[in-house]
Every structure is written in C-alpha cells, then in structure tokens.
Amino acid sequence: MELNAAFAARSYGAARPITAPDPLGGAREGAQTAPGRFAETFAQTLGQAEATAREAMIGGGDPHALVAALSEAQLAVETTVAVRDRVVEAYLEILRMPV
C-alpha cells in the first residue's frame, strides 16, 4: 500500500466528520443527556422528600411514608456524592498524566 499526500488528505477528509466536535457541545434539547436526567431525578427525589416531610410536620402525613422518603433522599444524596467523588478522582488522575 502506497502512502502519499493525496491518500492521506483523502483519508483525513473522510475521517473528519467522525472526529468533528459536537456543535451543541454535548447539550441536547432539554435534559436528554445522562447527567441532565440524573440531576432531574435527584431534584425530584429531594422535592418529594421535602413535601412528605412538610406534610408530616403539619400533622397530616404518614410517618411510614416520611421514613421511606427520607431514606430515599439519603440514598440519592449518597449516590450523588459518590459520583462526584469519582469524577473528581478521574479529573485528578488526568491531571497527573504526563504530557
């Protein structure tokens, strides 16, 4: 196989659309990305826990529902913190890579 400038330019031109950056920068309409969906679910979970806690404090809520909602919110917060820690750890690992 002969490699010449024309072949290299043609190959680069064919591969360029694959490697071209996303014009939207990864942002899709709404929260279509995984982090966006994760953030929406997290916010909904905390909102439901707050609403259940508010009802329980006023006196009209079920104590069992309150415990379940608070446990769910605690699990959501712990999961979010674990994901954040992994992202920070990966970022620091990238910073330690030699150039």
pLDDT for 10 equals 67
Q: What is the mean pLDDT of residues 16-35?
A: 61
* CB contact set of 63 (below 8 Å; sequence gap of 6+): 56
Q: Is the pLDDT assigned to residue 2 strictly greater than 90?
A: no
Q: What is the pTM of this model?
A: 0.60
pLDDT digits (tens, 9 = 90+) for 26-69: 555 554 788 888 888 999 999 999 999 998 888 887 889 889 99
Domain boundaries, the chain: 5-96
Residues 66, 8: Cα–Cα separation, whole Å: 65
**CA end-to-end span of the chain, whole Å?**
32
